Structure 1
Amino acid sequence: MRRRTFLSTALASLATSRISSLTYAADAAQSRDHLLVVLFLRGGCDGLNLLGPANDKDYIAARPEWLRVTDAGKFEGLSLKNGYNGIDMRLHKEAAPLKELYDSGHLAMIHACGLQNGSRSHFEAQDMMERGVADQKDIGVASGWLTRTIEALSPRGLLPAVAVGGELPDSLLHSKVAVSMTEARDFNYGHERQVALLKRLYEGRESIHRTGKLTLDTITALQTKLPRDGDGNVQDYTPEKGVSYNDIGGLGDSLRSLAQIAKMDAGLRVATVDYDGWDTHESQEYRFNEQVSELSRALHAFYNDMSRFHSKMTIVVHTEFGRRLKSNQSEGTDHGYGGVHMVLGQGINGGRLHGEWRGLANEHLDEGADLAIATDYRTILSEVLTKRVGLDDVKSIFPGFAMPKALGIV
Structure 2
Amino acid sequence: MEDFLKIKKACDHNTALSVAILDRFLLSYATEKDKLGKEADQKLQAYRHITDRFGRQWYDMLKSQYIIHRLMKDGGLITKYLKHSTINNLEKEKLDWMAFQSANPWRFSFAEIKEQPEKDFYQMEDVFTGENYLLYSPSIKDIIDRDGDKELWFNLIGFNGSCWQTYGPLSGYASFSPDDIYFFATEVNPMIEDEGALMEDVQKNPVPYMMLFAGSTQQPVVHEGETLVMVISEEKASIPQVQEMEQAFNISYTGGVYRLGLHEWEASPHFAVAYYNEKEQTIQATALTEKGFEAIIDALNKFGLSMDKIADIYLRPSMQQTAQEILKKEIELMPLELLFEPDAEEASDQELKKLDELARLAVTAITSEREPNLEALAAEVGIDLESNRFVVEKIISDLKEKVKK
State if a TM-score over 0.5 links the two structures.
Answer: no
Per the normalisation by structure 2, the TM-score is 0.22
Q: Which has the larger radius of gyration?
A: 2
Q: Which has the higher strand share?
A: 2
Q: Higher relative contact order by CA 8 Å / sep ≥ 6: 1 or 2?
A: 1
Structure with greater proportional helix content: 2
